[in-house]
């Protein structure tokens, strides 16, 4: 009987260790888990330090080309909003589509950073939204929108009404959100190759950064910052000779 108890205990201990090993190491934006330490937290995060095409970047000296018009299709559907401790993320798998490079990328989620992660000619913005899309083979394309100080953003207000205040909590958004209200009317953009801006900092991400910002009120920025309790932006990374096109 004692041997059986010991065997069961050993199995439970092994299962517990395996479960812990399978969990992603904790990271943050400050303290020992801050961006400069991400690569030290796990071998999975090594690209955060060794990668040559990391994001975000300072967009400057863009090469003028004939970029194809940005092709976005939006559906007005109820969404789910999550506070994951790093940002406010809105889950969206309702058929919102980005067509890029003759491929279809479906919107998976969008989230926010304050202050902005990318900068344009050295200019930072109080808020940046990332719309994360994925194609059938798992490749990622991120469309980034900057917010400048100004009038209250009506669609953002709808999201902020449901903003979960504590990490790990989520809320369903009953009213429909018109995502077009989170995008500028003039849809010119910059494009470059980069990475995820959070661990594991995976590279090969197609980045689209809208040239024109939309407005956000000072109160809306303060409301988001109060829930986050700290800035949630990764510092600008070296371009390493990357070409930004416009």
Residue 85 has pLDDT above 60, yes or no: yes
Angle at 147 between CA 110 and CA 117, to 5 degrees: 65
The pLDDT, as a whole number, for residue 69 is 93
The pLDDT, as a whole number, for residue 174 is 80
The pLDDT, as a whole number, for residue 176 is 83
Give 31's DSSP letter.
G
Q: How remote is the C-alpha of 221 from its chain's centroid?
A: 17
Is 86 an active-site residue?
Answer: yes
Residue 194 has pLDDT above 50, yes or no: yes
Q: CA-CA distance, 18 to 218, in Å (whole number)?
A: 46
DSSP string for residues in 65-113: --PPPPEEE-----EEEEE-SS-EEEE--SS-EEEETTEEEEEEEEEEE
Least confident of 54-63, 169-178, 221-230: 169-178
Q: How far is CA 229 from CA 4, 28, 85, 95, in A?
A: 50, 12, 10, 33
Residue 14 has pLDDT above 50, yes or no: no
Helix (H, G, I), strand (E, B) or coil at 22: helix
Residue 80 has pLDDT above 50, yes or no: yes
The pLDDT, as a whole number, for residue 84 is 96
- What homologous superfamily does CATH list for 52-228? Alpha carbonic anhydrase (3.10.200.10)
Domain boundaries, the chain: 52-228
pTM to 2 decimals? Answer: 0.89
DSSP string for residues in 169-228: -EEEE-S---GGGGS-SS--EEEEEEE-SSTT--EEEEEEEESS-EEE-HHHHHHHHHHH
Kindly state the average pLDDT of the residues 90-104: 89
Residue 233 has pLDDT above 90, yes or no: yes
Residue 150's pLDDT band, with cuts at 50, 70 and 90, is very high
Q: CA-CA distance, 242 to 118, in Å (whole number)?
A: 14
Catalytic residue chosen out of the listed positions 24, 86, 111, 130: 86
Residue 12's pLDDT band, with cuts at 50, 70 and 90, is very low
Residue 22 has pLDDT above 60, yes or no: no
Residue 210 has pLDDT above 90, yes or no: yes
Kindly state the average pLDDT of the residues 28-57: 97
Residue 21's pLDDT band, with cuts at 50, 70 and 90, is very low
Give the rounded percent of residues in the chain with a pLDDT score beyond 70: 89
The pLDDT, as a whole number, for residue 16 is 35
Of 168, 172, 108, residue with least CA distance to 143: 108
Residue 23's pLDDT band, with cuts at 50, 70 and 90, is low
The pLDDT, as a whole number, for residue 18 is 37
The pLDDT, as a whole number, for residue 92 is 82
Between 174 and 118, the more confident residue is 118
């Amino acid at each position: 009987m004692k041997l059986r108890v010991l065997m069961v205990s050993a199995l439970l201990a092994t299962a517990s260790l395996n479960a812990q090993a399978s969990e992603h190491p904790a990271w943050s934006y400050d303290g020992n888990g801050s961006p400069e330490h991400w690569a030290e937290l796990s071998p999975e995060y090594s690209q955060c330090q060794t990668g040559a095409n990391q994001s975000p970047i300072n967009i400057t000296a863009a090469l003028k080309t004939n970029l194809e018009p940005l092709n976005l299709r939006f559906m007005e559907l109820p969404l789910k909003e999550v506070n994951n401790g790093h940002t406010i993320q809105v889950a969206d798998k309702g058929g919102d589509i980005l067509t890029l490079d003759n491929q279809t990328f479906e919107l998976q989620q969008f989230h926010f950073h304050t202050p902005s992660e990318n900068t344009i000619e050295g200019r930072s913005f109080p808020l940046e939204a990332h719309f994360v899309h994925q194609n059938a083979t798992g490749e990622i394309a991120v469309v980034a929108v900057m917010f400048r100080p100004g009038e209250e953003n009506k669609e953002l207000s709808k999201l902020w009404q449901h903003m979960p205040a504590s990490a790990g909590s989520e809320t369903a958004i009953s009213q429909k959100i018109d995502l077009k209200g989170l995008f500028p009317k003039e849809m010119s953009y910059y494009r470059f190759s980069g990475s995820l801006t959070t661990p594991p900092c995976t590279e090969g991400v197609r980045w689209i950064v809208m040239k024109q910002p939309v407005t956000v009120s000072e109160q809306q920025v303060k409301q988001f910052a109060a829930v986050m309790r700290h800035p949630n932006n990764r510092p600008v990374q070296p371009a390493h000779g990357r070409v930004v096109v416009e």
